[in-house]
Every structure is written in C-alpha cells, then in structure tokens.
Amino acid sequence: MSPTAAPATTDTTTDTQSRDVALPALDSLDWDDLALQLDGNGFAMTPPLLSPDQCRQMIEVFDDDGAFRSTIDMARLSFGEGRYRYFADPLPPLVQALRTRLYPPMAAVANRWAGVLGEDPWPDTHGELIEACSAAGQHKPTPLVLRYGPTGYNCLHQDVYGDLTFPLQLLFMLNTPDVDFTGGESVFVEQRPRQQSRPMVARPGLGQAVIFPVRYRPKQGARGYHRVQMRHGVSAVHTGDRHVLGVIFHNAR
C-alpha cells in the first residue's frame, strides 16, 4: 500500500496544544545543509532546538508512569543496559509539536530519497502519515525517552515497528555531555555492499538533535543509486545518567 493512500485526520485538542509550544529554533533550521550532511555522512546534527527547561521537563516525565504505554528493560531482552519508555496517547504537547512541525521538511528529504530509489512518495503532513499507519494496523505511538546509567549502552538496531516505516528519525540530547555524564556516544554503522562497515560517532550537546535513517539511505554508485543499510546504538556510559528523547514519525503495530 502506498503511504499516501489514506486521508488525514487530526486530534484538534492535541494540535492546538502543540502549536502553543515555543520552539523558535525550528524556524531557522538550514534544511539544505542538513540534507547535505545526511547525504554525505549518513546523519545530520542540528543546532540546539530544545531549551534547558524543555530538556529538564522530558527528563522529569520519565518517572511519570501515566505518561507511558510501555517500558523496556534493555538487559532483560539483551538489547543493552538501561531503560526506555514509549509515550502513550495523547503525546505530551512538546513531543507532539516536534513530530508535527519537523515532519514536513523531513518528508521533503524522504521524498527526494524515495525518488532516486524508485519508491512511493510520503505524504506532506504528519496527520496523513498517521492515517496511513492506522490503515496498516500501526496504532501505537513510538516517541520515547531513554535513560542510561553507568555502564549503560544500546546495541546496534533499527526502529522499524511495522510495514510502514518512515525513513528518518531524530534523537534529542537531554543532558550535558561531560557534565551530567561521560561516555555514551551515539554510534552509527553504515553497512556498505561488498565493503567493510563504516562506523561513525556523534556527540550532540544539550538540546541538540541528530537526524538519521531508520533503516537505509540512498548512495550513488557507478550504476546509479543503491540502498545502504544503517544501524544505530549507544556506546557505554562511564559516569552519570544520560537521557535522550527519540522522535520516530511512524506508529507501531
């Protein structure tokens, strides 16, 4: 099924609340530069997008059981060490605002990628994407907060969640590296066809976001564009606590 198959619907109350969230840095993002970073490096680093107060709000909500639909203990499932929690509907206004406002420019990048890879285009608005997810049986929200303590880490993985998988996602750093924690770098591995894998490391600062592929990105070769698989994870935290907000645009089964 094409991701543009279903019409859009919106939650009026949630959308109204999200429009009231102050995110001034989103308006000045240089999407041409971010697209060049994605094409060249496989991931892109933004300037700080969240204020220190917004980061603190997301850290504090981690302990609010009522805000989440599911909690994962990574060690129990051999995913790593640490915990992450998926938000329940309705999403917090800040998370909903990030999903709604960041989706259109991300969709522009995703549609350029879809064009060179011969894939179906993505809808222009996040509401339309959520409707398409619903039609595909994917109803559960996927934004999450992750907490790692000393020795915490996350194995390399991909956040797929269903047949309908929007190709880009973000992580937002909620702590100050080398102040609140040490270690805990974001790790990306590009699995290149018939070549050894390429590791990359990102160290976002407080409030900064990293944009990266969920599964793969296009790369031009001698015979045109081909898909390059990407996985991501987190290296071991040495001291302190590391919190990250993950914004994934498609829903889960």
pLDDT in tens, 15-45: 666 778 999 999 999 999 999 999 999 999 9
Contacts of 248 (CB under 8 A, 6+ apart): 142, 143, 144, 159, 161, 166, 169, 214
Instruction: Work out whether the CA dihedral 21, 164, 146, 211 comes out positive or negative.
Output: negative
Alpha carbons 16 and 182: distance in angstroms, whole number = 38
Domains detected in the chain: 12-19+31-248 (2.60.120.620)
Reported as a pLDDT band with limits 50, 70 and 90, residue 14 is: low
Helix (H) or strand (E) holding 116: helix 93-117
User: pLDDT for 38-54, tens place per residue?
Assistant: 999 999 999 999 999 99
pLDDT higher than 60, residue 72? yes
pLDDT score for 16: 64
Weakest-pLDDT range from 2-6, 34-38, 106-110, 243-247? 2-6
